[in-house]
Structure formats: structure tokens, C-alpha cells
Structure 1
Amino acid sequence: MRWGRAMLVYNRKAGKEKAGQLGEVVAALAGEVGELTLVQTTEPGDGEKICRDRGSDHDLLLVLGGDGTVHECINGAAEAAGPPEIAILPGGTCNDFARTLGLPMQVGRAAEEILAGRVRDTDVGKVNGRIFTNFVGIGLITDTSENIDSDQKERMGKLSYFLSTLRTLRQAEPFRFRLTHEEGVIDSEAVMILVANGRSLGTAKLPFAGEGVQDGLLDVLIVREAGLSLAWQVINGGDLTDYRESGGIIEYIRTPSLRIDTDEPKGIDSDGEIYLQTPAEISVVPSKLRFFYGPNADTNGIEDEDAGIDAMPSGG
């Protein structure tokens, strides 16, 4: 047996609507796990508590769900004494962190990739004492997440994020901020600040340098003006060179830590979950947890398996 004890945590929605996925995971791992425990979350906070209290009792933690479920479970696993190796099984709408890890978007295939053993020490981020894997956002990103129609999301998936982006752009207003990092202070206005550890946002590859979740740095994007063309470029990982060279509409820095102060408290979107407010103390935690990677992951690559409208970030 490769793993003596493994625990699979899945959200209630996944259990009701995607029961077949559980069977695919069990079938893929049956010969490699001595004891596999399935645990269903039933209310917000369950995933974090389960992974914090029981994570260290297992060699392998599997998380089946979207970015919100991953966010909960990773916050719990990071506090466990002796965290297990972690495998993400993409079961949400965007699955951005799974994309950063280069995993297939089909749960069964992702489970099979665990057997290849591509497990690596991986950076996570921390904002106001809470862990994030993929990104932290203030301004337009937060507003877009809040404007998503839940019924529309059920019917339309990723397209619902695009529609929410269009609605939010019409109402976007700049906010005053002060960003302090290792090399200086930026005191200005913006419509959006994005701090990324991962390499995918709303299923699209982000246009950042470096090695993402293995470089010990965070990528910070400051967007000072709202507009459909610019938003589309950012959202879809386009070339931002012209914007960076045209009067500072976009500013891009890389840093291991930063602080963001705003004139008035602003909501913070952390991996699609909004429950924190500015001021924000943000830092990278290098090589904090061990995750399984997909076959196409080169620490900078993202497997892009499905086409369609790419939009803003999702919860799970």
C-alpha cells in the first residue's frame, strides 16, 4: 500500500449531484490505500474543522469540490500537526487552484494522476492570519464575486462570471489605497488590486512571470482604471505591456509581503470567499504544504482543457 490512511472530504453539493465522482476516486485509489475514509461537509466551516482536527491522522488528504471547498480545507490542513500530502479533485465551476497545479479537470483523471506521485512542496499565501492558495483581491474582483447571481451560476457556470463582470464594470469606482512592500510605498487610487500566488483566475491563465506557487513571491497587479478592454485583457491573461507603458494604468510588482490600507474598509476576496476587510497584511508562506501536480504542470503552466467564456474568480 502506498498510503496507509487517506481521507476524502467533499461538499454536500458534490455528494448530491456528482455521486459518480466518488466512485471514480475510490476505483482509482482502491489498490493503493489501506483505509479510505469519506467525510461529507454539511455547513460552512465543516471542511476547515475536519481537516484541522483529523488531517494529521492521515497520510493523504483528498479534497473534492470547488475553490471555496479547497479554501476551507487548506485553512484546516495548514493548522494540523504534521499535515498530510494533499490532492485536489476539481469539482467546482472554475477550479482555479487545480488548474495552477496542472491537474485534469475530470475528477476521475485527477485521481489517477495521484498515483504518478508528482508531489511537491508548495507555497501558500496568508492574509490577516488566513491561508489562501490562489489569490486575494480588493475592489473590482470582490464586487464581481458579490454580484454573481447564484441561480444564474447554477444554470450557466463560467458564463455567469462574465455577465457579473459586465454588470460590475458599469459601476466600478476607484478607491484610495496605500500599499507598503519591501521596496517602497505606493499611494494612489485603483479600481482593483490583485495579489496572486496561483496562475489561474476564472479559468484563464494569469500573465505573470516567475514560478507561481514555488517561487516564494506574490504577484501584485494594481489596476487604476476600469474598462471592458482592459478588464478583458487581465481576465484572459493577455499582453499587458501597452498598459504598463501608458501612464501607469497598470502597475505590477513581485514581493514576499505587503500591507494594503484603504481610506474606508474594503471587502477582501480570498480564493472567491469574502469574509475579511482591509487593512490587509499579506505574505507568502514558502513550501508550506505538499500538493500533487498534474502531468502538464511545470510550476508555471496551467492545463487548459475547456474553452468558453473566461471570467472572474469563483467560490466552491
Structure 2
Amino acid sequence: MKITKALLIHNDAAGSAAGGLVSSAVAVLAPAIKELDIIQTSGPGDGEKICLERGSEVDAVFILGGDGTVHECINGLTQLIHPPVVGVLPGGTCNDFVRSLGMPVDVTQSARMMLEGRTINIDLGYANGRVFTNFFGVGLITETSENIDPNLKGSLGKLSYFISTLQTIRSAVPFAFEMEADGKLIQDEAVMIYIANGRSLGSSALPFAPDALIDGQFDILIIRQTGLPLLRELLARKPEGEWQPKNDSILYYKARNIKLRTDEKKQADTDGEVYLSTPAQISVLDHKLTFLVGGPDAI
């Protein structure tokens, strides 16, 4: 597609060497786009506000930042009647949504691929009035996000997520829950419930089929108890074909409409941002936005 006017939204607080990433992106995009406005977010919620106010004015919005920046911007763009196409450039620690799209985590390569013009309509998630790209989770996933040392994250990148996960595992306490997944009632205890729209977590591929973002369903992982063998099963398998867990500590379902209740109110993590809570109603927004994905190796 022809892109004449575009926004490049970036967050200098996300990831490392963000200034250099912006320069790399601009070097590729500016010669090909007649009018490219570059905007830096200045605080929480700014990405959503910018997209809501200016998204209708352009052909494309390029988002350069981590999954949190993407989360903000997508929540602004989905409120527009006629949203522009979206390009997500890797600028964070794990770039899980970029990985789910099958795009390279190199800014220059991603930008070049996006200018090839291939697009795809992607499913998004909707939870308690907010949109998410990659996941909604409660339990261990939320505790992991809250336990991450910001200084450690900045210096060690994705390794910090795994260190935090291992620290949290030692103190994981099961909670009782009740879930309706497309009408199926599930009652059990878990240390984590992970409702995935994408197929990457902490920069590692999850064992879901490659069409996770376009199949109209969530992949639901219910982790009943945890430990290193379980982590190995989740993170070691390549996402090829239908997956069925071999570990009794993992329950796996697919559904598009979910009602989740917990015995006590639980904080929820959406794309790495912790501000929602249970009870929650979660549903698929079919093919809600159009994303630039470049070449044949993308989703």
C-alpha cells in the first residue's frame, strides 16, 4: 500500500539505546514517506491520547517501543472509526508482540519489511473495556511483572524476566477460580492463568500454532502448580501444529469468550501492564486492526 502520511510514536524510556533505534527507523521510513511526524511520548497514557487525537489524520502509525507502549497506542487506535494501518517496530526488552507477528527484532529490518506493503488483519483481545495485543494473565504472571527490578531490566534485558520468574516460583500460592470458556465451566485452583492472543512470552515462543493471532480464539493456559520442569515444557517446544501438554500441572483450552472469577480479587497483567483485575470478561475482537508485516516469513 502507498503510505503518504504517517506518525512514528516512540518512548525513550523503553528498552535500551532508544535514541539510536529512532534514528535507525527514521533513516528507513523518511525517504519513503512524504510526511513523517515523529512524536515522543511523555508519560503514562500519552501514546493512547496521541493515537486517538491524530490517528485519523494519517495512513499509518508506526509504534517504536516495548509491549507497554504498543498496548497504549492500540487502545487509542481501536477507538477510531477509520483507524490507520499499524506498524510495530521493536524497541523494548522482549518485543513479544513483534515476535508474534513474525517480524525481526532488528528495527532496520522491520522497517524495510513494512515498506513492502504487505498487511494482515489481526485479532485483538478485549478485557473489561480495554484492548490487549498479546495476553491477559493473573497469578504468577502478574507477580512476575510486579517483582521485576527496573534497573535489572534495563541492564540485562529479557534475562531479567526469567530471573524474576524463578524468584516468584518459590513463593507461588494457588488460588481458586471459576472460568466459563465458550460456555464450558472450569473450576479449579491455579498459580497462574494465561490467556494468550499472541504466541511469545518473555521473548520465548509459546507452543501454540502459528495462526494464533488470526484464528479467532485465545489459547488458555491454566498452570496448577509450577517448577522448572513445567517451564521447560512451555518454553522448549517449537510452535508447530496442535499442542497438548504432557504435564498434569497444565490445563490447555481454546475459546473466544471467557468469564473469569477468582476467590479473591486478583490483579491482572495485560501486555505487561498491571491495572485491571478480576472478575473479568474477555473476548476476541476479530480482525480489529490492520498491521504491516512485510515479507513472506511474517505471520
Alignment of 1:1-316 (within 5 A): 2-13=2-13, 17-209=17-209, 211-237=211-237, 241-243=245-247, 246=248, 249-295=249-295, 297=297, 299=299
Identical residues among aligned pairs (%): 49
1-structure distance, mates of 2:296, 2:164: 31
C-alpha change, 1:295 and 1:220, in structure 2 (3 Å) is: same
Conserved? CA contact 1:233–1:240, under 8 Å: no
Q: Secondary structure at the match of 1:131?
A: strand
**Separation of aligned partners in 2, 1:16 and 1:123:** 29
Question: Which string of whole-angstrom CA distances, capped at 9 and with x for unpartnered residues, describes residues 3-43 of structure 1?
Answer: 22100000132699432322222221233212110111011
Give me the whole-angstrom Cα distance separating, in 2, the residues matched to 1:265 and 1:7.
39
Deviation at 1:199, TM superposition (A): 0.9
Provide TM-score, normalisation by structure 1.
Answer: 0.89
1:76 is aligned with what amino acid?
G
Counterpart CA distance in 1 for 2:16 and 2:261 is 42
Q: Do the aligned partners of 1:119 and 1:293 also contact (CA within 8 Å) in 2? A: yes
Deviations along 1:73-108, one digit per CA (max 9) or x if unpaired, are 111111123110000010001000000111111111
Query: After the TM superposition, which of the residue ranges 268-277 and 12-21 deviates more from structure 2?
Result: 12-21
The SS at the match of 2:117 is coil
CA distance in 2 between counterparts of 1:229 and 1:71 reads 31
How many residues are paired up?
Answer: 295
Unaligned runs of 5+ in 2: none
**CA separation in 1, counterparts of 2:33 and 2:255?**
40
Structure 1: which 5+ runs fail to align? 300-316
Inter-partner Cα distance in structure 2 for 1:296 and 1:160: 32
User: Distance between the aligned counterparts of 1:152 and 1:88, measured in 2?
Assistant: 25
Give the alignment's TM-score, normalised by structure 2: 0.94
Give the Cα–Cα distance (whole angstroms) in 2 for the partners of residues 25 and 208 of structure 1: 30
Equivalent residue of 2:226, what SS?
Answer: coil
Q: Name the SS of the counterpart of 1:261 in structure 2.
A: strand
For 2:180, give the aligned amino acid: T
Identify which range, 164-173 or 178-187, moves more after superposition: 178-187
Equivalent AA in structure 2 for residue 211 of structure 1: D
- Map Cα deviations across residues 239-281 of structure 1 (whole Å, 9 max, x no partner): 76321xx4xx211111111011001100101001000110011
Q: Is the 8 A contact 2:15 2:66 kept in 1?
A: no
Q: Structure 1 residue 156: deviation in Å?
A: 1.0
Report if the CA contact (8 A) 2:179-2:185 is conserved. yes
Alpha-carbon spacing, 1:14–1:177, altered in 2? closer, same or farther (3 Å): closer
Q: Post-superposition shift, 1:298?
A: 5.3
RMSD: 1.8
